Amino acid sequence: MSPPSVIGQPAADITTPLSKSPYKGAAVQPIDGSQAKTLAEMEARWDDSFSFAPIRESQVSRAMTRRYFADLDEYAESDVVIVGAGSCGLSTAYSLASRRPDLKIAIIEAGVAPGGGAWLGGQLFSAMVMRKPADAFLRELGVPFDDEGAFVVVKHAALFTSTLLSKVLAFPNVKLFNATAVEDLITRPTADGKVRVAGVVTNWTLVSMHHDDQSCMDPNTINAPVVISTTGHDGPFGAFSAKRMVSMQQLKELGGMRGLDMNRAEDAIVKRTREIVPGLVIGGMELSEVDGANRMGPTFGAMALSGVKAAEETLKVWDA
């Protein structure tokens, strides 16, 4: 029995695209080998003969743990550590990894889900606005957008973030350690009595959140000559490195994020993305807590271009 008709037209065959689809220009995906081509074929393929290849549970455990611990071993010495996989951190990782496939880049993200605040546009609305010239970054990623003149709109923020995330994770020289928090920074003294940042101190995020009710849950470490901190301006771990620089007396005080002013905020955040102390570059909204930039609210161009700039500032440090 053929399925009930959709939008008033009986489907001749559920594998045949509806000719009168309301989704104009809907890309009709070619049916590839993973999909049946006829109703008869559909029925046949799920019969008693269907079965997954056999496995022993320990094979699954070893497939995961061998890779994870090999990665921990390999990235214990990284060339760059990016703290925070929000829109700025991921844009930084993309810009750096695409330009320098020779650099080993570790991304540490406290959340189980990377992406930070970039899964929605603003007040839980879906669309994401980016002011020009950030559209160039979207073109580089291949993210489609509507051009509205001075700004562009991605139809769903998750389209930007998932595309960026998938490209970052596909780089062979990038490893994402999510559900992992940076709890401190590794430092070295400099000749003038200050500090150079030389890596990060990490722990499982769930462990970091229970230091007060458990004892002796010491952390792990990653050495790296450059750390890029993009931990945002709020959230349970927000503005992490800015706050740590104050508590280490390398910054006098937090700058204190100012009120919302899109025009001032986005220019300032991108222009001020820089190396704050030797070995530590800060970008994205975390910067508003370093020197009191305004917030920009639901527009994300500065996050993307602050990431591009953070990558360039890092290469300056690296090539210095």
Binding region: 88, 109-110, 117, 182, 218, 233, 285, 295-297
Q: Is 158 exposed, middle or buried (0-12, 13-18, 19+ CB in 10 A)?
A: middle
Which tokens belong to 24? 């104009």
Binding residues for substrate, as ranges, are 88, 109-110, 117, 182, 218, 233, 285, 295-297
Nearest to ligand 48N by Cβ — which residue?
A: 86
Site string for ligand 48N, 165-204 (x = CB under 6 A): ----------------xx----------------------
Using CB under 6 A as the binding rule, whether residue 231 contacts ligand 48N is answered as yes
Figure out which of the listed residues 228, 303, 305, 308 binds ligand 48N, where binding follows CB under 6 A.
303
Identity of the residue, 118 or 165, whose beta carbon is nearer to ligand 48N in the bound complex:
118
Cis peptide before 54 (omega within 30 of 0): no
Q: Which stretch binds ligand 48N (CB under 6 A): 40-48, 145-153, 292-300, 308-316?
A: 292-300
Candidates 295, 305, 310, 313: give the one binding ligand 48N (CB under 6 A): 295
CA distance 189 to 40: 72
118 counts as binding ligand 48N under rule CB under 6 A: yes
What residues contact 67, with CB distance under 8 A and at least 6 apart?
A: none
Verify binding: residue 245, ligand 48N, rule CB under 6 A: no
Alpha-carbon distance of 280 to 117, in angstroms, equals: 22
Q: Which is nearer to ligand 48N, 11 or 297 (CB)?
A: 297
Chain centroid, CA 122 distance in Å: 18
What does the DSSP 8-state code read for residue 17? P
Query: What is the chain's length?
Result: 320
Euclidean distance between CA atoms 131 and 124, whole angstroms: 19
Asked whether the beta carbons of 226 and 281 are under 8 A apart, the reply is yes
Nearer to ligand 48N, 154 or 303 (CB): 303
Compare residues 233 and 274 and give the one whose CB is closer to ligand 48N. 233
Please pick, from the candidates 83, 96, 276, 311, the single residue that binds ligand 48N as defined by CB under 6 A.
83
- Rounded Cα distance between 284 and 280, Å, is 14
Name the one range near ligand 48N by CB under 6 A: 70-78, 110-118, 138-146, 158-166: 110-118
